[in-house]
Structure 1
């Protein structure tokens, strides 16, 4: 009698997925009051207040495991306002305001939106530049954004338009924030906890690039600077796009004058104005544009 040989590596127990598929409760125990469901398929149970530590662990693990599977080792993180428009959209809105004969305040806001739209274009070009150059690297670098509109969209769009991959780390907000359409689907994540989202921004980042933004951008940028300043995180380039914006917004000289930061803390970041200038700084920091020997090692020209 033929007996099928067993595979030495066969599972000794059913997988959680298999049990989840077969563990349909008898009709008497299908109601919402029933405790029959498997714990890991019971959403009501997982959402209990006492399960917060488990949810935090899951939110840390899911993006981590997926990025490992997708081969994501290094990222360049782009922060910036969700409200900055593409230049063509900003121009259309300005023309609509002008045609409607809106008041001076509305006209000024529309004109400012056109001025600020240059940052959308720079973020898009910078992302395209990073994605294109990274293809020649032994360890590719991927653009990572907050996954929403504005500067985040521009970052993902630049990679998408040349056939590259990029990450989007979305956050659940009271007002709807759908992921922008340019994120690589298998690298599009959603977070409940701001803290874990920011942790994932920094875990693989080799550079932080901050465009003009509001409270969210300031929160992300200052957390990164604080971690670097206190040596809780390794030093890496922090590039601030738009010297005029940042120096009008934050009086760095006053912070030094009053002893709130040390003079050398100013060296933790650098102002840049264009995608080319930002790339040149990163290339100088990491030797991105030096020839390689095919094994990821740089080859000097002398």
Structure 2
């Protein structure tokens, strides 16, 4: 059954004891604090895509999962937070949260489509920008230095993200990779490089060097205009990654294990892409291969 965005706005606010009749800027800010990039329209789309994969689920169960991703508190605290109309017990909360996160994670392979990089293609050498981010986790046992993330000073997992240059969509999401054991160029060679068409390149930053198909700020023979548009494209790439990292489960030390972290990361990436598709696109840029 389809539920319109207005219904999700009402349920999402009522669950947290807020006035759903208000649509003030402050009310929207409070919504973001609990539901991240999942606007009522995104929630409606997510339900349509995923509800069949979570039999007997009710709308509040999906709301619990999104609150979990955004706030990533203790189960007890989160059960207290969603107590309207009544507080769920922690076992019930846990069951539905993970059912929904795993279902959205599975759907991410359909939501995030590599072929979407070809939308409105005008023959550019580069069709995507590429970057990665590290997310902190509890130190796995036994100790292994391969988990170490320089960015966080402890164990971490790395994910690789591509954004289409012409369409502004998230079109690639890969990982998790152990941060210390996998240089960015290594993960690129193992995965994304194999998916590029003949002669296709990607825009990236200085952290990725050593392949002719990677264009960076230091790539030789780029004129000022080309460097400028490349810098703008990488700024938009950071904006896309920001929509994934806005979810607190991606920012603070994750305590639920590597497999569950991967499910959360893919779910966050899927919700970020759905926000791009449903009323909140990334800023537009112009990008043309230099002659």
**TM-score, structure 1 as length reference:** 0.24
Greater relative CO, 1 or 2 (CA 8 Å, sep 6+): 2
